[in-house]
Structure 1
């Protein structure tokens, strides 16, 4: 994923609501979100090139459902082509039996081997954020207090325009008790940020402009927002994951 906004223990009876966009090259093969044939307890999209996933949940188990999501940290000067796939960080947690703190302790041991990432994961008992670009003060992740959070390709709650704008819209929709369609409409925002508010992530200015939108449209470069997803963990019920697969704007009907 390249943008996630989520509310942790803000709405009574709904420990987690998360809304996310996945930005990726259009020709990178993947399956839409759904139960995995070899692990039907996992509901997630699947990356068919690197393996793993970018966001998913598990059905209710002994400790309740699990949730995990990933964004890349944009740092082109640090990118290593031989690094292990980051999607395995999501799928390994969903498929495993370690609780979130124990899993993040294990991830921390090899975190430096990966290109930059943010990992948000947990269950009804607790939600955690971990990044291998966050510094030594966040060795094994950060337990999150109740609240509304956002993360794109920087660190958690970095004040990027798309993060600030989407968090504000998300909070308003939560207060209104808005229907699901309103969250997908929020994720479809193609407005680009003014140049003065753009972050400097080491890419050319014209690319920074294109990437500043909540929903990215770059069909000429074969890249853009490919899926939008809304997830809910609800007390006493199975988790909900609803995904919309987007077509490149040049190919849209």
Structure 2
């Protein structure tokens, strides 16, 4: 599971602002934030499936993914982490890519996928577990994934209405929250005790297959002139110490899709 909150095309300085926690088993092999071998793609890497949960590239493409909490899974399902990577390394528009993924969505376990291109101001949300209607559609100008984040995120936005965001402060105040939901607010997919421990924004819980929790906290900001800041705080393999990494670059070919 992951949890994310983002702002899209509704701030005078930041066309895009994202905070995302990746929750995973602590013993799952993972590569920290870095430029991939193609020299164009930036993000962490899941070394088991080979894909990513969040990435961007030098030409203004963004993709991120969250999973559904489900009691059953598809045998031999395709890796969901491949979806963001495919978009980042493609030449398709967000709408074209969303249409392509709809045709093969049944091959994956449950996912929420957001793909965007900053300078064409195009963003699409794709899911293979729709509540109603289509599996893909354009997002509103301001969208939140993970409603428990809304109050804290909006409070910090109010404190910084038009200027620079203190990214590390926002990460610390919003994304490390360990407050848990009470039983009436749980989704009632897993047993209540399991869901209780998984209900906080920041997760850390022992499970039968090993310790499970928030492996990384990411903040991705893009300013109106194309300056990108990608910050990651990640837990070293096996649950060691926390490390910080930051990458800065300016988007190229700003009129491309």
Mapped contact 2:27–2:239 kept (Cα < 8 A): no
- 1:14 shift after superposition: 1.2
- Equivalent residue number for residue 246 of structure 1: 235
- 1:74 shift after superposition: 1.0
Mapped contact 1:228–1:246 kept (Cα < 8 A): no
- Equivalent residue number for residue 43 of structure 2: 44
Count of equivalent residues:
233
1:194 aligns with 2:189: no
- Equivalent residue number for residue 14 of structure 2: 14
CA distance in structure 2 between the partners assigned to 1:212 and 1:94 by the alignment:
30
Post-superposition CA distance 1:38-93 (Å, at most 9, x none): 2211110011111110001111x3xxx1110001111113x123100000001000
Where does 1:94-133 land on structure 2 (aligned, <5 Å)? 94-124=88-118, 125-133=121-129
CA distance in structure 2 between the partners assigned to 1:148 and 1:71 by the alignment:
14
CA distance in structure 1 between the partners assigned to 2:85 and 2:147 by the alignment:
28
- What's the RMSD between the two structures over aligned residues? 2.0
CA distance in structure 1 between the partners assigned to 2:28 and 2:188 by the alignment:
26
Mapped contact 2:4–2:21 kept (Cα < 8 A): yes
Structure 1 gaps of 5+ residues are: 151-162
TM-score, structure 2 length as denominator? 0.85
CA distance in structure 1 between the partners assigned to 2:237 and 2:186 by the alignment:
24
Q: What secondary structure, in the 3-state scheme, does the structure 1 residue paired with 2:104 have?
A: helix
CA distance in structure 2 between the partners assigned to 1:250 and 1:20 by the alignment:
19
Q: What secondary structure, in the 3-state scheme, does the structure 2 residue paired with 1:215 have?
A: coil
- Equivalent residue number for residue 249 of structure 2: none
Deviates more, 1:215-224 or 1:84-93: 215-224
